[in-house]
Amino acid sequence: MRQLINTILLVVSLAAVACAQEVPVVQKKTSQSEPASSAAQLPQKLPPDQNKFAVVITGISGEEAYTKKFAEWTNKLRDLLTSKLGFAEEKTFVLTEKPEGEERRATAEGVRQLFVELKNTLKADNQLFVFFIGHGSFVDKVAKFNLVGPDLSVNEYAALFNALPAKTMVIVNMASASGEFVKPLSGEGRIVITATRSGMEQNATRFPEFFIGALGNTEADADKNGRVSVFEAFEYASKMTEASFKQKGVLATEHSLLEDNGDGKGLEKSADKPDTGDGALAKLVYFDSLPQQQAGGDPALAKLYSERLRLEGEIGRLKSRKAQMSEDEFDNELEKLLVELATLNQTIKASKK
């Protein structure tokens, strides 16, 4: 069984490499003096990917300095999503303290209403990315994200997310005290990232600047495949946040977490932390829309590429559950997925002829 799986893995890898080589990725070197947050070097604007949805919730600022900073982060994130990463403008929703244009007001009722709309719109195979920018709180063991007016607790957010049909969700809470969101929001097919590791880390966070700056940044592309995965963005932002405290000569007041295997525990920056089983799924989920680029405008081919990403995601989720499965059970499920993936790669190759 093990030898068969290794053979299938080799076939799949060779087929994937062959497909990937047909899509040139141009990388531009950045100078040492260029700010990391401005180093986005992606190809020209991609056609919108109708499979992806994005929500940016920017909460109440409290002070003028944060008003300006939150607005800058929000605008930069929205621009990257819609101009560089293939998110359709009509499927990118932004809630802010003082909405302009198509933005909505970041109130509890506004959040609830949007999630009702998402519940009625999303399909199981859609991807949902949700970003929180702002302040959080942790009082009487209740974690909240600060909105305009009454706040919503983490348990209320959990109920909202649980009602959505999408099987793949990326939830990035970049607020203070956000670590308490990890366990309640974790689940199969979900990647949860927080700027802090607990509710006790309540200082304003630096993590958002570096996480948003990682999207499309060649410096964040650790494996140099021309794309930035959710895991790579997390690792880059965690490293840069840590370095920013060291540069100032002060103790770090925030430690980011990533959770993607459903156990609710979370992983800190992996370079110096023990393996918790997290990261497998986050390494397979990307912010960009490569299937659209690979397909060259062919809807049928784009669907095949999207299906390949889905299968790769299934394999990642399976690997994240390996510790909870028997060896035979894991091998049988992995073999089935690998065979399906190898067959799909052959179909993609034949469709290009």
Q: How far is CA 98 from CA 58, 107, 115, 201, 278, in A?
A: 10, 11, 20, 27, 37
Q: Please give the pLDDT value at position 132.
A: 98
Question: What average pLDDT does the segment 9-35 reach?
Answer: 43
Across the range 239-259, mean pLDDT stands at 96
Shared domain for 280 and 228, answered yes or no, is yes
Same domain, 160 and 297: no
Q: Per the domain annotation, does 3 fall within a domain?
A: no
C-alpha closest to that of 216 among 80, 47, 309: 80
User: Which of residues 242, 258, 288 is at a domain's end?
Assistant: 288
Q: Is residue 113 domain-shared with residue 169, that is, in the same domain?
A: yes
User: What's the predicted TM-score (pTM) here?
Assistant: 0.78
Among 338, 308, 248, 319, residue whose Cα is nearest residue 281: 319
34 pLDDT exceeds 50?
no
Please identify, among 238, 266, 288, the residue that sits at the C-terminal boundary of a domain: 288
- The answer, yes or no, to whether residue 320 has pLDDT greater than 90, is no
Structure tokens at 44: 């020209």
Cβ burial of 70 (10 Å; 0-12, 13-18, 19+) is buried
The answer to which of 21-30, 47-56, 101-110, 236-245 has the lowest mean pLDDT is 21-30
What pLDDT band is residue 317 in, cutting at 50, 70 and 90?
confident
Total domains in the chain come to: 2
Q: What is the mean pLDDT of residues 154-168?
A: 97
CB 256 within 8 A of CB 196: yes
Distance (Å, whole) CA 106 – CA 84: 25
| Segment among 19-28, 66-75, 83-92, 109-118 with least mean pLDDT | 19-28
Rounded Cα–Cα distance for residues 15 and 345 (Å): 6
Same domain, 245 and 347: no
Give the CA radius of gyration of the chain.
20
Q: Give a yes or no: residue 227 inside a domain.
A: yes
104-105 and 142-145 strand pairing = unpaired
* Domain termination residue (choose one: 261, 288, 315): 288
Residue 307 domain-assigned (yes or no): yes
Q: DSSP strand E in the chain: where? A: 52-58, 92-96, 104-105, 127-133, 136-139, 142-145, 152-153, 168-173, 190-194, 257-259
pLDDT (mean) for 316-320: 79
What is the average pLDDT across 220-235? Answer: 92
**Looking at the predicted structure, is the pLDDT value of residue 134 above 90?**
yes
One domain, residues 153 and 201: yes
Question: What CATH number corresponds to the domain at position 60?
Answer: 3.40.50.1460
Q: Which is higher by pLDDT, 81 or 309? A: 81
pLDDT of 18 > 90? The answer is no
Q: Which domain holds residue 260?
A: 39-288
**What's the mean pLDDT in 51-78?**
96
Strands (E), 106-187: 127-133, 136-139, 142-145, 152-153, 168-173
| pLDDT band (50, 70, 90) for residue 228 | very high
Give yes or no: residues 215 and 153 share one domain.
yes
